[in-house]
Amino acid sequence: MNHTQTAAPSPGFADPVQDSQRAFRGLLDAIARPGTIVRLDAAVSAPAPLSAAAAAALLTLVDFETPLWIDGAAATPEVLAWIRFHCGAPITTEPAAARFALVTDTVAMPPLDAFCQGDDSYPDRSATLLVAVEGLEARNGFRLTGPGIEDEARLAVEGLPPGFIAAWGRNRAGFPCGVDLFLTCGDRVAALPRSTRLEV
CA-CA distances (angstroms) from residue 37 to 29, 43, 189?
Answer: 9, 18, 6
Q: Is residue 116 part of a domain?
A: yes
The verdict on residue 5 lying in a domain is no
CA 186 to each of CA 92, 118, 139: distance values in angstroms, whole numbers, following the listed order: 25, 30, 18
Its domain, for residue 81, covers 16-199
Task: Determine whether 89 is exposed, middle or buried from the number of CB atoms within 10 Å of its CB (0-12, 13-18, 19+).
Answer: buried
* Domains held by the chain: number: 1
Residue 69 belongs to a domain? yes
- In this predicted structure, what is the pLDDT of residue 9? 73
Q: Assess contact for 77 and 63: CB atoms under 8 A.
A: no
Phi, psi values for residue 123, rounded to 5°: -65, -20
In a domain, 11, yes or no: no
Tell me, yes or no, whether 106 lies in a domain.
yes
Give the pLDDT confidence of 82-104 residue by residue, as tens digits: 999 999 999 999 999 999 999 99
CATH number of residue 101's parent domain: 3.40.50.11310
Do residues 117 and 177 touch, judged by C-beta distance below 8 A?
yes
Q: What is the gyration radius of the CA atoms in the chain, in angstroms?
A: 17
In this predicted structure, the answer to whether residue 25 has a pLDDT above a threshold of 90 is yes
Omega cis (within 30) before 49 = yes
Tell me if 107 is assigned to some domain: yes
pTM: predicted TM-score of the whole model, two decimal places: 0.93
